[in-house]
Amino acid sequence: MLALPPVAPPNWWPLHTRLGRDHCIRVDTCDYSVHPRAIGRQITARADTEEVVATTRAGETVAHHSRCWARHQTITDPEHAAAAEMLRGQAIRQRASHARARGPAGLAPDDLGVEVEQRQLGSYDRIFTLIEGGAAKEDT
């Protein structure tokens, strides 16, 4: 019998997916971070015995990690975490500026000084006949 020729392992687990808001892809049981600029875009993740690489449809590499063989791990690139934090801050500031631009319409009724009628708790006791005189007093 002849020896097998040296062949590179195939790219296992080709994964085609739209990247979610958590900007992670799951390969086997581990989650690998992807640059958050790819959120909402179609990506392809390829894994072999040494690395995990994620690319966009345009061929742009948005993640490159060493393969982790431990189970249920989350591997995060510090650059991806920093970019996600920056984007979160921008989104919060943008929402706040939109709320300020809306003016009083964006405020809760309590903030506008609107009074809402509140029933006395004893009236509920009478309605549900928990006290003497029950529903008869409400009818009059």
Contact assessment for residue 72 and residue 81, using Cβ atoms and an 8 Å cutoff: no
- How far, CA to CA in Å, does 18 sit from each of 43, 80, 92? 6, 17, 24
pLDDT tens figures, 63-114: 999 999 999 999 999 999 999 999 999 999 998 888 888 766 555 555 556 6
Nearest to 12 by CA among 46, 63, 62: 46
In this prediction, residues 29-42 reach a mean pLDDT of: 95
Look at residue 140 and tell me whether its pLDDT is greater than 50.
no
Please answer whether residues 106 and 99 qualify as being in contact, where contact means their C-beta atoms are separated by less than 8 angstroms: yes
Backbone angles phi, psi at 109, to 5 degrees: -55, -35
- Quick one: pLDDT band at residue 57, thresholds 50, 70, 90? very high
pLDDT score recorded for residue 125: 78
Q: Which two tokens stand for residue 20?
A: 């979610």
| Residue 132 confidence (pLDDT) above 80 | no
Q: DSSP character for 7? A: -
> How sure is the predictor about 2, in pLDDT bands with cuts at 50, 70 and 90?
confident
